[in-house]
Amino acid sequence: MSETRGQAFGTLLRAGRAMMGALATPSGAAWARPKRGAGTYALIGLLAAGCAAAAYAATQPASLPVGDKAAIEAVVRDYILEHPEIVREAMVKLETKRVASLVEANRSSLETPYAGAWEGAPKPDVTLVAFMDYACGYCRATVPTIARLIKEDPGLRVVYRELPIISEASVPAARVSLLAAESGRFAAFHAAMYAEDGVDNDTILDAAKKAGLDAAKVKAELANQARNPAFAQNIKLAQSLEAEGTPLLVVGDQVFYGAVSYETLKDAIDKARKPS
């Protein structure tokens, strides 16, 4: 390949990478950033495919006229048509890297529990973060899965973050959950609350009683209307991960939404444990 032709392909590759970086990198204030749509990632995928095609063309015999734009475009087009799977592969890889960067930027805040709102290993080698709402049916369905993971894995810690967004009753339940965390009774209240049939003041009081919480303090939390900074922090963290609801589960560099299978979470934990 001639030096001039190599320079041309090098320029094409650099331009494609620069465009991909500009599209994939968040900019501006977090609250003002538009959520990346499927069209954006399709474009990123095509750009990635184009870069790959350019790299492929650069390895071919020097049969193209130098500076022949149409010929270069034809090579790119033919490569993408012959290997359409690279578009999806590029999109998946870019999205995986993007999510990993969001997690890494917030890891310390995510994995630092509020008081005693955690279960599992005191000195973990892997931490699973669970944003949950006591009024969330999928959260309730996830409880046995998390309990099994904790039981089977002595190196796993689960940090719980209250995200009361589903109903009005979610907020007082979350307040009492934080009280339980401060009182060293989080696990007991957490289990008792999810064992209740629904979320209201009566079920919250019943779960608190089973967990051994101070009744007067519980009633004070139920009557408390002040804004709780812990909720604000959790909402901010969830927004930083572009949360779509609860449960929101974070382990390693991966983020999961909704009821996730034991096998999926186990694989994610094993992956997070492996040295990079």
Mode of pairing for the β-strands spanning 156-162 and 248-251: unpaired
β-strand partners of 159: 118, 129
- Going by CATH, does the domain composed of 112-273 fall within 3.40.30.10? yes
**Interaxial angle between packed helices 85-111 and 229-240, expressed in degrees from 0 to 180 and rounded to the nearest 10:** 160
**In what order do the strands lie in the sheet containing 156-162?**
118-120, 156-162, 126-132, 248-251, 254-257
H or E element at residue 126 = strand 126-132
Task: Per residue of the chain (276 residues), give pLDDT as tens.
Answer: 454 444 444 444 444 444 444 444 443 333 334 444 544 555 555 555 555 555 555 555 555 555 677 888 788 888 888 888 887 888 888 888 999 999 999 999 999 999 999 999 999 999 999 999 999 999 999 999 999 999 999 999 999 999 999 999 999 999 999 999 999 999 999 999 999 999 999 999 999 999 999 999 999 999 998 989 999 999 999 999 999 899 999 999 999 999 999 999 999 999 999 876
| Residue corresponding to tokens 């030096």 | 3
Instruction: Dihedral sign for Cα 268, 273, 274, 276, please.
Output: positive
Where are the domains positioned within the chain? 3-103, 112-273
pLDDT for res 24: 46
pLDDT for res 276: 61
Omega of the bond leading into 247 within 30 degrees of 0 (cis): yes
Burial 185-213 (b: 16+ CB within 10 A, else e): bbbbbbebbbebeebbeebbbbbbebbeb
